[in-house]
Structure 1
Amino acid sequence: MSLRFKEVTDSETETKIPRPFDLGKRQTLDLGNGSEILYISKFVSSDQAWTWFDYLNQRIPWTRPTIRVFGRSVLQPRDTCYVAHPGLTTLTYSGYKPHAYTWDDFTPLKDILDAVHEALPGSRFNSLLLNRYKGGNDCVGWHSDDEKVYALNQEIASVSFGCERDFLLKKKPNKTSQRRNDEVPPAKKSKKCSGADTHSFVLKHGSLLVMKGYTQRDWMHSVPKRLKAEATRINLTFRHIIGD
């Protein structure tokens, strides 16, 4: 089903956030049981978003690593880069340990981080995973961002630049932790989810999406292949590693 957000009127504090940040109204989706999605379609003005897109596309040291998925090695179907505060616990996912760059290596990332912190009072992100989808075949399979370095009730802020792509959510069948399943052959069809257990919507250029509460514990998300998506999309996911 298509995601239907409940509009929330900006508070007096929120309206004071300087342009070009937080240009659009905040919309929320209550997923139940302490899970919630916040979405700002025009978090960044189009011109500023393209300026940052060009910088990220050209200046970030992108890599396309080999990862381990269900006992076999596969090429991750998207480019990636990792930035974090010095001294944090090492991030590992699917058998891959990305090199941790610092915020000082890429000054514009500090500006984007400041903008996200200003839009989300009380947040304190200390790490960033960047992903680049160079076309419709690039994707990320069903997963939850529930690695042990993150709290299960953490807030994850996702900023999108470039090509619009579908973002899907589905409720987990149980509380068992789910991991990435990039490029995994489709399993046998299981019982169909109800409409309330699945959501799909489009992440726009310059938008901000925040997964809040227990979304990682109870839900999975993906960015599926889309053959008609020929242009590049860059996505920044800001997170907080436990212990800082």
Structure 2
Amino acid sequence: MLKLKAVSEPTNPNPSDNAKKTQRLDLGSGSEVLYIPKFLSYDEAWKFFDYLNDHIPWTRPTIRVFGRSCLQPRDTCYVASAGLPDLIYSGYQPKAYSWDDFPPLKDILDAVHKALPGSRFNSLLLNRYKGSNDYVSWHADDEKLYGPAPEIASVSFGCEREFLLKKKPGASSQERRSDGEPMSKRVKKSNLVDQHSFTLKHGSLLVMRGHTQRDWLHSVPKRAKADATRINLTFRHIV
């Protein structure tokens, strides 16, 4: 398993600003993960957590998985800029709220853009994990509306949860399809070198870049000790 390399965050001109450090993980073949454990200060992150927990119109929708209807194992909400294509996943189309509906979300978006110069996120999927049995299964955010090499920024609040990455079957350069379409999302056993784990801390930022969605799967599994609430904001760019 590859080890993260911690370096000083070059995008932060103020060294006293939360002592931000960026950890970079090169997954190979143009895929990269960045992780900033102290993206937001501890107290600031709790203020955002309380606002999100109390003011976001959370819903737990019915989705379709392998042809069967089931209750999604986490709460969700969707925010997007005007004029974007509708988001549809697992047979569910969430209502798209405006950024103006929840002003603190724009403050978090501005902080993400400042930390990631050149990024231009225009949509946000919020998820709330209310305990150890809430989770997200193995998947890749490789829908066509995100483009061929999407950048996805994930900000976490509350309970620490484990975030796993696992290489897709047949994702080596020799086996990729020449047209760049996503590979099958089926999961099979892989070597340890093709698996990585992060503990996403309160106030942290994790970024998946390059071909991570094409070549890798990720998940937040059930964990018996994760008995408190976690809120996660996943910023994306819809093309």
TM exceeding 0.5: yes
Q: Is the 8 A contact 1:17 1:119 kept in 2?
A: no
Structure 1 residue 18 displacement after superposition: 8.1
Runs of 4+ in structure 1 off by over 3 angstroms are 16-20, 175-179
Rounded Cα–Cα distance in structure 2 between residues aligned with 1:15 and 1:7? 17
* Amino acid in the other structure paired with 2:59: T
Q: Is the 8 A contact 1:166 1:223 kept in 2?
A: yes
Q: Is the 8 A contact 2:74 2:134 kept in 1?
A: yes
Match runs of 1:181-192 below 5 Å: 190=188, 192=189
* Amino acid in the other structure paired with 2:168: K
Does residue 1:100 correspond to 2:96, yes or no? yes
The residue number in structure 1 matching 2:8 is 9
Structure 2 unaligned regions, length at least 5? 172-181
Aligned residues: 229
Structure 1 residue 147 displacement after superposition: 1.3
Rounded Cα–Cα distance in structure 2 between residues aligned with 1:158 and 1:72? 29
Structure 1 unaligned regions, length at least 5? 182-186
Against the structure 1 CA distance between its residues 76 and 156, is the aligned structure 2 distance closer, same or farther, given a 3 Å change threshold?
same
Match runs of 1:114-133 below 5 Å: 114-133=110-129
The residue number in structure 1 matching 2:17 is 19
Identity over aligned pairs, percent: 70
Match runs of 1:95-244 below 5 Å: 95-175=91-171, 176-178=182-184, 190=188, 192-242=189-239
Q: TM-score, normalised by structure 1?
A: 0.89
Does residue 1:86 correspond to 2:82, yes or no? yes
Q: What is the CA RMSD across the aligned residues, in angstroms?
A: 1.7
The residue number in structure 2 matching 1:184 is none
Structure 1 residue 199 displacement after superposition: 0.6
CA shift digits 1:104-146 (9 cap, x unpaired): 0000000000000000000000000000000000000000001
CA shift digits 1:8-67 (9 cap, x unpaired): 2333x42338835xx321110000000000000000000000000000000000000000
CA shift digits 1:196-231 (9 cap, x unpaired): 100112000000000000000000000000111110
CA shift digits 1:158-217 (9 cap, x unpaired): 0000000000000001255455x9xxxxx9xx4x31121001120000000000000000
* Amino acid in the other structure paired with 1:194: N
* DSSP 3-state at the match of 1:112: helix
Against the structure 1 CA distance between its residues 217 and 97, is the aligned structure 2 distance closer, same or farther, given a 3 Å change threshold?
same
Rounded Cα–Cα distance in structure 2 between residues aligned with 1:91 and 1:18? 39
Against the structure 1 CA distance between its residues 18 and 62, is the aligned structure 2 distance closer, same or farther, given a 3 Å change threshold?
farther
Structure 1 residue 149 displacement after superposition: 0.9
Q: Is the 8 A contact 2:8 2:20 kept in 1?
A: no
Rounded Cα–Cα distance in structure 2 between residues aligned with 1:96 and 1:60? 19
CA shift digits 1:59-115 (9 cap, x unpaired): 000000000111110100000000000110000100100000000000000000000
Rounded Cα–Cα distance in structure 2 between residues aligned with 1:164 and 1:223? 11
